[in-house]
Chains A and B, each alone.
Chain A
Amino acid sequence: MSQTIATPPTVRLDSDVVGKPISRPEGPAKVSGAAKYAAEFSVTGPLWYGYVVSSPIAKGKITKIYADEVLAIPGVQQVFSHENVPSLAWFDRAYKDDVAPGGSPFRPLHEPEIMFSQQPVALVVADTFELARYAASVLRIDYDVAEFNTNLEVAAPKAFDAPKGKTGFVPPPKPKGDVEQAYADAPHKVAGEYVHHAQHHNPMEMFGTTVDWLGDGKKMKIYDKTQGAPNVQQYIAKIFGLSKEEARIISKFTGGGFGSGLRPQYQVFMAVLAALELEHSVRVVMDRSQMFSMGHRPHTVQDIRLASDDQGYLQAMEHNALAETSQFEDETETVVNWSGILYKVPNSQFDYKLTKIDVNTPADMRAPGAATGSFAIESAIDELSYKAGRDPLDFRLLNYTYTDPTENKPFSSKRLDDCYHEGAKRFGWDQRNPEPRSMRDENGLLVGWGVAAGCWDASMQKAAAKAVLAADGHLTVSSATNDQGAGTYVIMTQMAAQTLGLPLAQVTFELGDTEMPEAPVQGGSWTANSVGAAVKDACQAVGKKLLKLAQKMDDSPLAGVDFEDVQFADGHIRANEDISRSVAIADILAASGEAKIEAEGKAGPNPINMLKYSMHSHNAVFVEVKVDEDLGTIHVTRVVDAVAAGRIMNPKTARSQVLGGVVWGIGMALMEEAYLNNDLGRYVNHNYAEYHIPVNADIKKIDVIFVEEEDDIASPIGVKGVGEIGMLGVAAAVANAVYHATGKRVRELPLTIDKLL
C-alpha cells in the first residue's frame, strides 16, 4: 500500500510539522495496554457492577418485575427499573442531547412501555460482574405484548416528509426545470431502486461507563465511552439536576465510535443513576448483543431516475429516498442532496421521506446519509454512462460542475477533477476495456473495474482550547474533544508545535475531560478544522504574550515589531524582516519570571463564508473486483481512493482514516447487514460471528492519494477533515465493477453470493 500527496499546492518548509507523517504519541500506550478505556479505570473505593436487562419483545408493556427474587441473592445490591427509579427531570427535553433529532428522546427506565426490542428495562447491580450478569439472566419480567411492525415496506404508505429538527440536517434541494418532460424527451435513461438494510456501527470497544464515587456529596468522576464528553455532561447534568462540576465526564480514549458515540448511550445514564442512588462506585458495560440495541444506519430505499442527451449531458435527475425511523424520534440524514451537488443537471427534483417502525431510533453512522445517497446516485450514473455509450469516468467529467448547483454558489475549493485524473492514472484506467464481461485474469476469473465519486461537508463547529506554556518550556494544550482513533492527539500536537515553533517533544495535547475548554462531539469530519483552529488560536494568544514579554527584556531585538511581523520557529521568536533579530523562548520565560503563560483560544463557523460558498470535500474511488461467476464470489483486489479534503495535517493518520474508510466501504458493499426478523421485531445476528465485517483476508491492495487543496475559506487552517470522505463511493464503485465484470447490475446491498447466482 502506498500513499502520496499529489501536486501539493502549498510550499512546505522543512521546519513545518503540520503536514508531516508524524506517528501518534499515544500509540505505545495503546498497544501496550497502558491507555485506559472507560471500563478499565480503577476507582477509589470498592466497585459494583451493573448489568443491563434488555427487552425480548418489540412492543408492549411491562406488567411485573420479580425483583425480590433477585434481590434475595447474596451480593445483589439493587435492581433498578421504572418501578423504583426516582423522579428525575420532568420534561423530556432534559433528555435531549446536542445532536438529538426531532421528537421525544428515549428515557431509560422511565416507564413500563416497550418501544423497541432490546430496550433496556432494568439494571441489576451486584458486587461482581459475574454475579450481576447471572442475576440479570434470572430476573423474571412479565410483559403484555402488543402488535408491532418493523417492516419498512409495510410502513411505507405512512411516509412523511423528513422534518427539520436535527442540527445539520439540510432538507432536499428545490426542484429545477421540468423533470417529467426532460426525462420523457431524453434518448438515454435509467430508473432504478437502490436498497441497503440496517447496519450497526459495532466499534470494538463496547459502550461502558465507570463512575468513581468520591464520597463527598455528589462529586463523581464519570469515565465514559463517548465521542463527546461535553455532550454527555450536559445530558447527565440536566437529567439528574447536577451542576457541570458534579457531572464531570472523562473520556481519554475511545475504541471506535463511527457515530454510535455521538449521542449519550443508556449505559452512562444507568451507571450514574446507580452511583447516585447507591452512593457507590459503579461500572456498567454493554455486551456485544446490546451493541445492536442502539442506533444503526437506517434501512433506506432510494428511487432514482436519470436521463441524458445523445452526447451524455445529463438532462434530468430525480432522487427520492425513504428511510426508517423510530416511533418516538425523527432521525434525519442528508441523503439525496449530494446528487445535486455533484452533477450539473438542468432539470432535477429531490425528495426525502421517513416512516416509523418499531425499532430504536437510527443514528449517524460514518458519512451518514452521504454513504446512502452516494451508493445510489453513483450506481445510477454508472448505469446511464453505459446507456449513453460513454466511459463511466468520461461521463462523470462531462457532467462535472464547478459551482454547487443546489445553492448556486461557488465551491470554496474543489479538486474532484484532479482526483479523477490522479486516481485514474494510478489505477491504470486507460487500460480498461469498456465492454462488460470482457476482462479475465490468468485463472479465468471475470475482472471488473469500477469508479465512483463522493462528496462530504467541510464544516466548522464552535470549539475552544487552552494553551499553557510552563516555565520549563513545555507546552500543554487541551480541549474537551475526543479521539476515537482518528489521530486527534497527534494532529493537535503538531498544530500547537507549529504555531509556537516548538519541537514536538516539548508539546503535549490533552483531551476528553469536561474540565477542559468545550469542543463539539467528534463527528462530521469537523474536529481537525474546528479544534485545530481553536488550538492555533490559543497558541497564538500565548505567542502574543510571549512577544510582549520579549519586548520588555533589556535591549530586546524584537522591540517595536508587531505580532504579524514575527515568526515562531526553532524555539525562537524571530522578526520576519531580519531573522537574526531573534529571542529564544526559553530566555523569554526565564527573564519574565512567570511560572507559566496561558491563554484560551476559540474557533467557529464563518457565517459570511457560509453564505457565499459551498464547502465540501470530494473523492474518486477506483475499484477492481474479481468474480467467480459460477459461485457468485466477489473479491475486491485493488482500490485507489483519491481524496481532495483541503490541507492534510498528517498524511499518516489521514491515510489511516481513508484506509479504514475503504475497508468500511468494502464491508458495506459485500457483507454488512443486520438481519431484521419481522416476526420477532428484532435483529438476530447480533454478534461478531454472524454480523459480518471484513477480515484481513478480504482486504488486498489499497492506494490512497491526497489531492491537496488550498482553502482558507472552508477553514482558517485550510483543513476539511477526512473522517468520512474516504468511504464514500466505495460501495458504488464495487457494484459498478461487478457490473463491468459480469454484466449484472445489483442494486441491493450487500452483494452477497446469492445475488450473483
Chain B
Amino acid sequence: MNSFTLTQATAADEAVRDYAGHEHAAYLGGGTNLVDLMKYNLERPSHLTSLGLLPLTDITSLPDGGLRLGALATNADTAWHPEVEKRYPLLSQTILAGATPQLRNAATNGGNLNQRTRCYYFYDLAAPCNKREPGTGCSALTGPNRVCGVLGTSESCIATNPSDMCVALAALEATVRVQGPNGERTIKFDDYHRLPGDHPEKDNTLEPGELVTAIDLPAEGYADHFTYLKLRDRSSYAFALVSVAVGLKMNGNTIEKARFALGGVAHKPWRDQEAEKMLEGQTASPDLFRKVAAKVFAEAKGYGEGSLHNSFKIELGKRAIVRALKQATEMKYEVNPNVFLNSNP
C-alpha cells in the first residue's frame, strides 16, 4: 500500500474542492472495495477524500412521489428503511442478496455504484488486464472467465459489473445525482455505467472529480409485482453468475408495464427496452417469457465451454429471465428479502 494523505470533508462542495486540489485523489466511502484495491496494490491514490462526515445519509421522499437515497446512506440502512421496504421491496431484496451483513453495514450507496469488477485478472497483478492497465491485453478472453460477461462485451474486456443493488436501480430507472468541479448534474441510470468498448478502464460516465450525492427513485416501485433472482455458486457471500431484477405492473394477468435488468452478464446492469416492450400489453405466459428471454440473449457471445468458461450463462440467463418473470407475475412467495425462495429451498 502506498502512503497517502486523508481529508475528512464535511460538505459535498468541500469534498469536490479537496479532490480537485490533489493529484491522484480518490473518494473514500465505506472503503469495502477501495481499501481492498489499495491493499492489493491495484489502486494507488496518494490522497483520499473521506466522505464519512458528509450530511448525505438521509433517505427522503421527493415531491413527485419518488424517494431520494443519500449517497452516504449505508447499503444496510437503505435496504431496511421502511419506505424502501414498503415502496421499493425490489431494491431491498437486491441489496440483501449481496455481500454479507458486515459489508452492507459499511458499504455506502455511492460506493456500491462505483465498485469495480471482480474479474480474477483485474485483481491479479501478474495477469495482463486492459481494465487495470490499458493495452496489456485481456486474460479473460481465453482463460477461466466464469465470472465474466456474455452481453455487450468487447475484445478488450468482458468483465461484469458485480453489483446487485445496481441491477434493481436499472430496473427501477433511477437517476444519479452528481456534483463536480463544474456544478451539479443528473445522470439516467442507464447512462451511468458504460460498456467496455475500447476503454474498459472506464467503468462509468462520471467525469474526474465528480461526486455522487444521491440516487433518486421515481414514484413507481412495482411493489406488487417484483422479484430478484440471483444465481450463484453458494447460497450467500458470492457474486451473481446471473441475476434478474423484475418490476411489473399487472392488470389481472395482463402486463401493463415491465422493467427488468440483468446482473452478472455485462459490464453494466443489462437492460433491453425492446424486450421490455414485448411484455407490455401482453398476457403473462411461459411462452411469452421464453420469447423475451431469447430476444435478450439473441446477440450474446460466450467465451469458451465448460464450467470455468462462461458460455453456459447464455442458457442460464434465459432460464433465469423466464423464472423471474414468472415469480414476479405470480408473486407466489412470501416477500421476505432474507429468504431467497427462488434458489434456496
**A680 vs B121: C-alpha distance when bound (angstroms):** 10
In the complex where A628-B343, A630-B319 touch, is A692 in contact with B143 (Cβ < 8 A)? no
Residues of B within 8 A of A445 (CB): 345
Q: Which of A443, A682, A689 contacts B345 (CB 8 A)?
A: A443
Q: State whether A117 and B345 are in contact (beta carbons under 8 Å apart), knowing that A689-B118, A694-B234, A753-B316 are contacts in the complex.
A: no
Contact B345 A628 (CB under 8 A): yes
Q: Mark B98-131, 1 if CB is under 8 A from A, else 0.
A: 0000000000000000000010110111110000
B345 touches A626 (CB 8 A): yes
Residue A690 lies at the interface, judged by CB distance under 8 Å to chain B: yes
A544 within 8 A of B: no
| Complex Cα spacing A670 to B322, Å | 24
Chain A residues with Cβ below 8 Å from B323 are: 630-631
Contact in complex: B144, A696 (CB < 8 Å): no
Interface stretch of the complex, out of A171-179, A429-437, A588-596, A671-679: A671-679
Partner of A130 from B1, B121, B144, B341 at Cβ < 8 Å: B1
Task: List A412-471 residues whose CB lies under 8 Å from chain B.
Answer: 441, 443, 445
* Given A443-B345, A630-B319, A631-B319; A692-B235 close (CB under 8 Å): no
Flag whether A390 is at the interface (Cβ < 8 A): no
Bound-state Cα–Cα, A137 to B37, Å: 13
The listed residue (A635, A680, A750) touching B344 by CB distance below 8 A is A635
B234–A631 touching, CB < 8 Å: no
Number of interface residues of A (CB under 8 A): 49
**Across the two chains, which residue of chain A brings its CB closest to B39?**
A133
Q: How far is the CB of B99 from chain A (nearest CB, A)?
A: 10
| CB-defined contacts of B238 to chain A, threshold 8 Å | 689, 692
Q: Is the interface of B mostly helix, strand, loop or mixed?
A: loop
Which A-chain residue is minimally distant from B322 (CB atoms)? A630
Q: With CB as the reference atom, state the residue of chain B lying closest to A57.
A: B126
- A632 in complex: contacting residue of B2, B146, B316, B344, CB < 8 Å: B316
Q: Shortest CB–CB separation between residue A132 and chain B, in angstroms?
A: 11
Instruction: Enumerate chain A residues within 8 angstroms of B139, measured Cβ to Cβ.
Output: 677, 679-680, 684
Flag whether A104 is at the interface (Cβ < 8 A): no
**Taking the complex as formed, is A290 at the interface, i.e. its CB lies under 8 A from any CB of chain B?**
no
Q: Which residues does chain B contribute within 8 Å of A676, judged by CB atoms?
A: 144
Which residues of A in the span 562-616 have a Cβ within 8 Å of any Cβ on B? none
The proximity string for A residues 686-721 relative to B, scoring 1 for CB distances below 8 Å and 0 otherwise, is 110110111111100000000000000000000000
Do A684 and B120 touch across chains, with their CB atoms under 8 A apart?
A: yes
A441 with B241: CB separation less than 8 A? no
Taking a contact as CB atoms under 8 Å apart, the answer to whether A680 and B234 are in contact is no
A-B contacts counted at CB < 8 A amount to: 114
Tell yes or no: A757 within 8 A of B by CB. yes
Residues of B within 8 Å of A57, CB to CB, are 126
CB of A754 within 8 Å of the partner chain: yes
The smallest C-beta distance from A146 to any residue of chain B, in angstroms, reads: 16
The listed residue (B41, B121, B144, B241) touching A753 by CB distance below 8 A is B241
Binary interface encoding of chain A residues 135-156 relative to chain B, with 1 for a CB under 8 A from any of its CBs, else 0? 0010000000000000000000
In the complex, A134 Cα to B234 Cα: how many Å? 34
Task: Pick 27 A–B contacts, CB within 8 A, sort by A.
Answer: A57-B126, A130-B1, A289-B124, A443-B341, A630-B322, A632-B231, A632-B316, A633-B344, A637-B345, A671-B233, A671-B234, A675-B120, A675-B144, A675-B308, A677-B120, A679-B143, A680-B126, A680-B143, A682-B127, A686-B124, A695-B235, A696-B236, A698-B234, A748-B307, A753-B231, A753-B316, A755-B307
Report the 8 A-B pairs with minimum CB-CB distance, sorted nearest first.
A56-B126, A697-B235, A754-B312, A684-B120, A677-B143, A675-B144, A626-B345, A697-B236
Give residues in A with beta carbon < 8 Å to B.
56-57, 117, 130, 133-134, 137, 289, 441, 443, 445, 626, 628, 630-633, 635, 637, 670-671, 673, 675-680, 682, 684-687, 689-690, 692-698, 748, 750, 752-755, 757
Chain B: residues with CB nearer than 8 A to chain A?
1-3, 41, 118, 120-121, 123-127, 139, 142-144, 146-147, 231, 233-239, 241, 307-308, 312, 315-316, 319-320, 322-323, 341, 343-345
